[in-house]
Amino acid sequence: MPSLRILAAKGTNLLLCAPNRPALRKRMTEATAVEAKTIHRLLEVDPKGGGFKRGDDKPLDCDLLVVDETSMVDVMLMQALMKAAPDKVRPFDRWRHRPAFLGLGPAKC
């Protein structure tokens, strides 16, 4: 992830997240020196009202949103994350992974 370090040095507002903490420690924060959060923490869980504080009405502030382990994110959580993503952010999965919970494995390119 050296390219993320270059983008951060150029002032790109990066947000890094993953569905669980081990992915954060091993793959993201250590590799990029940019703090990564769990998706739930990034979306700011609302314990009183349920759901998340981040969404259409309060989008995330970023130029680039990097999500590791996307195949491990369920549909509802990914929907909440995409609602909270700024309009300029577009989904991209280099490896075209299918969600792991479907048990289908990676898509053929």
11-65 pLDDT, tens digit per residue, is 888 898 988 877 676 678 887 878 889 999 999 999 999 999 999 999 999 998 9
- Name which of 87, 45, 49 is nearest 65 in CA terms: 87
The CB-based long-range contact list for 51-55 (8 Å cut-off, 24+ gap) reads 51/80, 52/80, 52/84, 54/84, 55/80, 55/83, 55/84
- In terms of Cβ atoms closer than 10 Å to its own Cβ (0-12, 13-18, 19+), residue 97 is middle
- Residue 12's pLDDT is what? 86
CB-CB contact of 54 with 84 (8 Å): yes
pLDDT at 92 over 70: no
User: What six digits make up the tokens of 108?
Assistant: 């053929």
Decide which of 59 and 71 is more confident.
Answer: 59
User: What six digits make up the tokens of 79?
Assistant: 């929907």
User: What six digits make up the tokens of 81?
Assistant: 């994350």
For the whole model, what pTM was predicted?
0.78
